[in-house]
A and B are shown apart, each in its own frame.
Chain A
Amino acid sequence: MSQKGADKAVSITSRLSYGLAAFALLYLIFLYGPLFFLPLFAFNDSTFIAFPLKGFTTKWFEAALSDEEMLTALWNSIKVGVVAATAATALGLLAAKAITRYDFAGRGAVTGFIMLPLFVPEIMLGIALLVLLNQIGIPLSLYSVVIAHVILCTPFAISVLTSRLEGFDRSLEEASMDLGEGPWMTFWRVTFPLVMPGIVSSFLLCFIVSFDDFLISFFVTGTEQTLPVYIWSQLRFPRKLPGVLAMGAMILLASCVLVVLAEWVRRIGVDDKPNVGV
């Protein structure tokens, strides 16, 4: 390529780079902009969600935090989320270990089946579970929501944990066995600590998925509502809206913090070689 051609290519590339950077910025505004209206109107001193803004107030947050029904729903969601995330992470850890450690017949098909919830619309999972629970006579309750969320979250847990286990140096386990540890002690003292960041990250992400889920929960919730189902039922009442916005703003903030935490934990020790004090 001639010098002139090369210069032209470079100038196109650098112009492109500025263009892309500008686009990226606009994209972030598009992504986050609409979400800012939730906290904005949650702090607005008016029942109406409209401009012009009337003034600053924290009374909607006080209303949300003293609304017994909303707090009950929040507590239900936390309980469901913790149980579902724990179960999904445990199931995900076993499956991820089997998938990454053993090369067995039918691995692709079995993995595909377990990961199915990622590729089926949630409404299908919701109605299918509703039909089954009804058929075997299990009443809808927080337990049925937990079952649904375990099914929904396990594929997420597996994908987080598989990526963690793939970079795992198996010779560390072999060394432990050679030094006389049994399989359980090897798991407990070698595998577990190395996979720990993946486990924490998986738990946090599963918790968020469960906590935020509405699409499936709507079908399998009984009289005890989770928070998204409660929020949905309140959207019809304009008077309740500012309180819902305040709760929504708090949920968004909490979700962001948890996601950043989960991502940060997941990356611990990923780039450098696993470093254990032998």
Chain B
Amino acid sequence: MAQASLQHKNAHNNTARLGDRFDAFLRRSETASGYALLSPTMIVMILGLGAPLLLLIAYSFWTQLPPEQGIGVDTTPTFDRYAQVFSEPIYVDVFWRTMAISGLVTAFTVALGYPMAYYVAFHVQRYKFVWLILLTIPFWTSYLLRAFAWKIILGFNGVINSGLLSLGLITQPLEFLLYSPTAVVLTLSHAYAAFAILPIYVSLEKIDRSLLEASADLGDGPWASFWRVTLPLSMPGVIAAAVLIFVPVAGDYVTPSLVGGPEGQMIGTLIQVQFLRVGDWPFGAALALSAMAGVAILVILFTAATRLATRSIR
């Protein structure tokens, strides 16, 4: 939005200064130069991102040939794969379970990340960058290892069980810790925690401090000030963080495989199995695209609802 308004302003100035025809020429040449410089990246992304996604869409309308007819697909277009996805309750059930898990993980990470980002933005005076680096390091470290750490912690002979046993607090290992949806939510909340901090921090840091002073001068206490000024102004960061966490979590298959057990499997696990074990790629493609469409709809609804709610506070 900021970019659009900036473009608009530039366009307006140019028109006023240089006249319409020259402006049109300038814009055309800017466009040409821009695309010339952008073309290598564009070509790579079209070949490596656009083409694969289009082919995946095409695949979802095809049919896998049975093994006895050789390896390959029948490319007659059909909606059968989608019908299959929606007719078998397991896929719909696992989709909703995945959404519930992703929603909980998003809620936890944002709720925990917000005060943390708030602390760094408003209360840390010196060595702010040390805090920021400390909070970003986990973002970049191996996701596989972060998830695996929890298997060590929650396992049958894991840190918690063996720790409690050796302290004599329990006599039998607690079995519910590992291989459950709870374990999945816990592991993912930890693995994605760092994703929440930065977007929220950036939006908090942008808030004009004089607005808070004005709110205090006009008689708002700290809580009212937070509720009516800080929180609404930081909502773009909260929404960004939520989307940044919800979407990748919805597609995850590592954590459910490591700590999920049969009750904690997510849609990503089923997609992965279709592609790497069952080998029915058209069905896998239809499953993946349906799930992604579902995720996209939920994200759009969530964003719209959050915006509306924010407006009503103000």
Which residues of A come within 8 Å of B, CB atoms? Answer: 1, 9, 12-13, 16-17, 20-21, 23-24, 27-28, 30-32, 34-35, 37-38, 41, 48-52, 91-92, 94-95, 97-99, 101-108, 110, 113-114, 116-125, 127-132, 135, 147-148, 150-151, 154, 158, 205, 208-209, 212, 214-215, 218-219, 228, 231-232, 235, 245, 248, 251-252, 255-256, 258-260, 263, 267
Assess the A9–B143 pair: CB atoms within 8 A. no
Assess the B45–A114 pair: CB atoms within 8 A. yes
Assess the B41–A94 pair: CB atoms within 8 A. yes
Assess the B4–A214 pair: CB atoms within 8 A. no
Assess the A147–B48 pair: CB atoms within 8 A. yes
Q: Scan residues 121-168 of chain B and give those whose CB is less than 8 A from a CB of chain A.
A: 123, 129, 131-138, 140-146, 148-153, 155, 157-159, 161-163, 165-166
Q: Of the listed stretches B229-237, B281-289, B303-311, name the one at the interface; the rest are far from the partner chain.
A: B281-289
User: Which B residues touch A205, using CB under 8 A?
Assistant: 140
Selected contact of A215 from candidates B118, B158, B163, B254, CB within 8 Å: B254
User: Which A residues touch B295, using CB under 8 A?
Assistant: 121
* Smallest CB-CB A-B distances: 6 pairs: A121-B251, A102-B34, A104-B34, A128-B52, A50-B162, A98-B37
Q: Bound complex: CA of A148 vs CA of B161, how far in Å?
A: 40
Assess the A122–B10 pair: CB atoms within 8 A. no
Assess the A212–B144 pair: CB atoms within 8 A. yes
Assess the B112–A214 pair: CB atoms within 8 A. no
User: Which B residues touch A106, using CB under 8 A?
Assistant: 31
Assess the B41–A154 pair: CB atoms within 8 A. yes
Q: Within 8 Å of chain A (Cβ to Cβ): is B77?
A: no
Assess the A30–B190 pair: CB atoms within 8 A. yes
State the interface size on chain B (CB cutoff 8 A): 95
Assess the B251–A127 pair: CB atoms within 8 A. no
Selected contact of A20 from candidates B50, B119, B254, CB within 8 Å: B119
A sample of 30 cross-chain residue pairs with beta-carbon separation below 8 angstroms, ordered by A number, consists of: A16-B222, A20-B118, A23-B116, A23-B119, A37-B152, A49-B158, A94-B38, A99-B38, A107-B7, A110-B38, A116-B45, A121-B248, A121-B252, A123-B251, A123-B288, A124-B53, A127-B56, A128-B56, A129-B52, A131-B59, A131-B281, A151-B49, A154-B41, A212-B143, A215-B253, A218-B272, A245-B152, A248-B142, A258-B140, A259-B137
Q: Bound complex: CA of A98 vs CA of B159, how far in Å?
A: 51
User: Which B residues touch A231, using CB under 8 A?
Assistant: 144-145
Q: Bound complex: CA of A140 vs CA of B161, how far in Å?
A: 41
Which residues of B come within 8 Å of A, CB atoms? Answer: 3-4, 7, 10, 27, 30-35, 37-38, 40-42, 44-45, 48-53, 55-56, 59, 112, 115-116, 118-120, 123, 129, 131-138, 140-146, 148-153, 155, 157-159, 161-163, 165-166, 190, 193-194, 216-217, 219, 221-223, 243-244, 247-248, 250-254, 258, 268, 271-272, 275-276, 281, 284-285, 288, 292, 295
Q: Bound complex: CA of A12 vs CA of B238, how far in Å?
A: 25
In angstroms, how far is the closest chain B Cβ from the Cβ of A129?
5
User: Which B residues touch A215, using CB under 8 A?
Assistant: 143, 251-254
Assess the A21–B153 pair: CB atoms within 8 A. no
Total A-B residue contacts, Cβ distance less than 8 Å? 258
In angstroms, how far is the closest chain B Cβ from the Cβ of A52?
5
Assess the A104–B35 pair: CB atoms within 8 A. yes
The verdict on A49 contacting B157 (CB below 8 Å), with A31-B193, A127-B271 known, is yes
Assess the B141–A212 pair: CB atoms within 8 A. yes
User: Which A residues touch B50, using CB under 8 A?
Assistant: 113
User: Which B residues touch A147, using CB under 8 A?
Assistant: 48
In angstroms, how far is the closest chain B Cβ from the Cβ of A170?
13
Q: Bound complex: CA of A129 vs CA of B52, how far in Å?
A: 5
Assess the A122–B251 pair: CB atoms within 8 A. yes
User: Which B residues touch A35, using CB under 8 A?
Assistant: 138, 141, 145-146, 149
Q: Which residue of the partner chain B has the closest CB to A208? A: B140
Selected contact of B3 from candidates A101, A108, A113, A218, CB within 8 Å: A108
Q: Contacts A120-B247, A125-B49 given; 17 further ones with Cβ under 8 A?
A: A20-B115, A31-B193, A38-B152, A49-B155, A50-B162, A98-B35, A102-B33, A103-B30, A123-B271, A124-B56, A124-B288, A127-B288, A132-B55, A214-B144, A215-B253, A263-B129, A267-B129
The verdict on A151 contacting B251 (CB below 8 Å), with A124-B53, A219-B275 known, is no
Q: Which residue of the partner chain B has the closest CB to A51? A: B162
In angstroms, how far is the closest chain B Cβ from the Cβ of A86?
13
Q: Bound complex: CA of A20 vs CA of B112, how far in Å?
A: 11
In angstroms, how far is the closest chain B Cβ from the Cβ of A109?
11
Assess the B284–A127 pair: CB atoms within 8 A. yes
Assess the B30–A102 pair: CB atoms within 8 A. yes
Report which residue of B3, B116, B131, B217 has the largest number of chain A beta carbons within 10 angstroms of its beta carbon.
B116
Assess the A131–B285 pair: CB atoms within 8 A. yes
In angstroms, how far is the closest chain B Cβ from the Cβ of A111?
9
User: Which A residues touch B42, using CB under 8 A?
Assistant: 110, 114
Q: Bound complex: CA of A198 vs CA of B135, how far in Å?
A: 20
In angstroms, how far is the closest chain B Cβ from the Cβ of A54?
12
User: Which A residues touch B217, using CB under 8 A?
Assistant: 1
Q: Bound complex: CA of A169 vs CA of B51, how far in Å?
A: 37
Assess the B162–A95 pair: CB atoms within 8 A. no
